[in-house]
Structure 1
Amino acid sequence: MRTYARWARAEWGVLYAAVREPLRERGLPALPMTVAAVGLTALLQYVQNQPWGYRPVQLVGAVRAEDPLALALLRTPLSLFVPALDLPVWGALAQILLVFGVAELCLGWWRTLAIAYVATLAGTLYARLGITLGAHAPFGLPWTDAQVVDTGPSAAVVGLAVFVSWRYGAYATAGAVTLAMVVEVLVKENLAGKEHLAALMAVGVLCLLSALRHHDRPLPCRAPRQRWPGRRAGRGSGLPPIQS
């Protein structure tokens, strides 16, 4: 048990410190964007399941590769919050609450939205490229995928999870999420899985740019580093050093 505890402390100690204090002091009011995102996703899910609501939600928030590019770009911001009709909405809401919430506490709301948008946009643009390449190309897609709705919030969730994990030293977690997405494509080769990989590649570029920008600078953290329960902060605390 002590070995697992040390590993957990080394993996998530800095991330835990960044998240704990604002949540302890303010609770959910520390997560205004995340709460709004969860509420908007739940609302869109409810509306699109009504006889009168499916078409309006599709018109403003459903992105397909067959759509004109300008129209797809206009719909992409809202598409982050349109959950897939064939998947349980509670899973999407839980993912948004956890991943968007941690990212908002660590990075701030506008950086969280920016990274989420980049990840989603990467998947959207990849779908167009893959269909252009064709089904027989190494990274191609069949033409039928042009009519499939893009991933919704899942690409943003995957991208944010990897970026925040990497930025705060949880490298095993970032690697596990990436590996899971690769396995998803190998087991079930579909548009969503490949869009997730495209999102990860885009986030990988953001990680590289962040590393270059913050070289030899401390991690961006909206709260001061907090002590891990039962340990003394500082030298010998078991927490990993802050690295860019």
Structure 2
Amino acid sequence: MGSPWPERVWGLSVSVDAEARVRAAGPEPALAGVRRPVAAPALRPPGRAERSLKSFVRFLGRNLLREFRSIVAEPVRELVRRGLSGILIAILASAAVLSLHAVDQHRTGAVLVRLVSHVRGDIPLPLVLLRTPLSLFVPARDMPALPGIPVLFLGFALAQLVLGRRRTLVVACAVSLAGTLSARVMIAVGPRWWGLPPEAAHVVDTGASAAVVGLFAHIATVKRAPVLFFFAVTPTVIRSFEKPNLAGREHIVAITFAVVLGFLATRKPKKPAPVDTARPA
């Protein structure tokens, strides 16, 4: 038998040579993974309701910003520029209401206030016209004077800053007088649809509520401010329909007349047609 030594030595030399070749060749390159294209998820186009909601939100944001500028930013800027003279009507109106209310608390003062400011449907029309300006600043009998001062001050102050002094006075007196005259017509019509019973002619018709709500309605119409109209005018309209008395009917007329004046003030004049000055041949 031959010795196994040469086989072991041979096998060892073969394995050593194989390992040397592997080390010389380096590690086997890794197989690159095959990338398969993955389709991107398809974007679902927005539905009709979603587009409408986005359009409404953009429209609401633009209008709220525009109304904030015209109702808040510009009046505040005007107040800073003009000072207290920019709200002089509001100061005088509030002082007049407080003064007449204090005078009306005494017996002699009450008689004087009644003679110079009380308006009713059973007194002659010329006397009504004379008493109407002062009747704006006499608190109504069924309403406390002090809680209404802030609203009166805000209404006249905003109106003077937005409309100017002269236009504020004209609109306030016009809408108040329109309500007073309409009350006389409704009393003459009688207790039918939109009429008033005869005893309404003896109700004292004073107070600045019709003028103030008319000023708010006029400003909201001129400045295209639906938010102001909703918060300052709509509650008065609702109360007027819930309680259809003399004051409620006058408030409806004053608001309607103020809105009409606002539309007339913002109506754009028609451009005249161009005149052909060329001489005929």
The answer to whether residue 150 in structure 2 is matched with residue 94 in structure 1 is yes
72-81 vs 181-190, which deviates more? 181-190
Letter in 1 for 2:70: V
Cα-to-partner distance string for 1:41-64 (whole Å, 9 max, x where unaligned): 111111111122111111111110
Maintained 8 Å contact 1:134/1:142: yes
What amino acid is aligned across from residue 123 of structure 1 in structure 2? G
Hey, what's the Cα distance between the residues in 1 that align with 2:258 and 2:98? 26
Q: CA deviation digits over 1:123-169, x for unaligned, max 9?
A: 1001100110001x211001111011124100000100011122122
Q: Out of 185, 190, 193, which is 2:240 matched to?
A: 185
Give 1:26-65 correspondences, 5 Å limit. Answer: 26-65=82-121
Show structure 2 runs of 5+ residues with no match.
1-56, 272-281
Q: Report the AA paired with residue 210 of structure 2.
A: A
Following TM superposition, by how much is the alpha carbon of 1:178 offset from its aligned partner in structure 2, in angstroms? 4.1
Match of 1:113 among 130, 146, 169: 169
State how far apart, in whole Å, the 2-side matches of 1:199 and 1:177 are: 14
Count, aligned residues: 214
Could you tell me how far 1:17 is from its partner in structure 2?
2.6
Which among 13, 21, 28 is matched to residue 77 of structure 2?
A: 21
State how far apart, in whole Å, the 2-side matches of 1:214 and 1:50 are: 53
Residue in 2 aligned with 1:237?
none
* In structure 1, distance between residues paired with 2:120 and 2:234: 26
Q: CA deviation at 1:212?
A: 1.9
1:154 maps to amino acid: S
| C-alpha separation in 1, matches of 2:97 and 2:148 | 8
State the distance in 2 between where 1:78 and 1:15 align. 28
Residue 223 of structure 1 corresponds to: none
Q: Residues 145 and 41 from structure 1, CA distance in 2 versus in 1: closer, same or farther, beyond 3 angstroms? A: same
TM-score (norm 1): 0.80
Mapping 1:171-182, distance limit 5 Å? 171-182=226-237
Letter in 2 for 1:170: A
**CA apart distance, 1:203:** 1.1
For residue 37 of structure 1, report the CA deviation from its aligned partner.
1.1
Q: Where does structure 1 lack aligned partners over 5 or more consecutive residues?
A: 217-244
Which of these residues, 164, 186, 199, is aligned with residue 130 of structure 1?
Answer: 186
Q: What CA distance in whole angstroms lies between the structure 2 residues aligned with 1:195 and 1:39?
A: 24
Q: Which amino acid aligns with 2:255?
A: L
RMSD across aligned C-alpha pairs, in angstroms? 2.3
Q: How many Å separate the matches in 1 of 2:259 and 2:142?
A: 29
Output one character per residue of 1:152-198: Cα deviation in whole Å (capped at 9) or x when no partner. Answer: 10000010001112212212322454432331123222111110001
Q: 1:144 matched to which residue of 2?
A: 199
- Alpha-carbon deviations, 1:11-53, whole Å to 9, x = none? 3221223211132244323222221111111111111111221
Partner residue in 1 for 2:209: 154
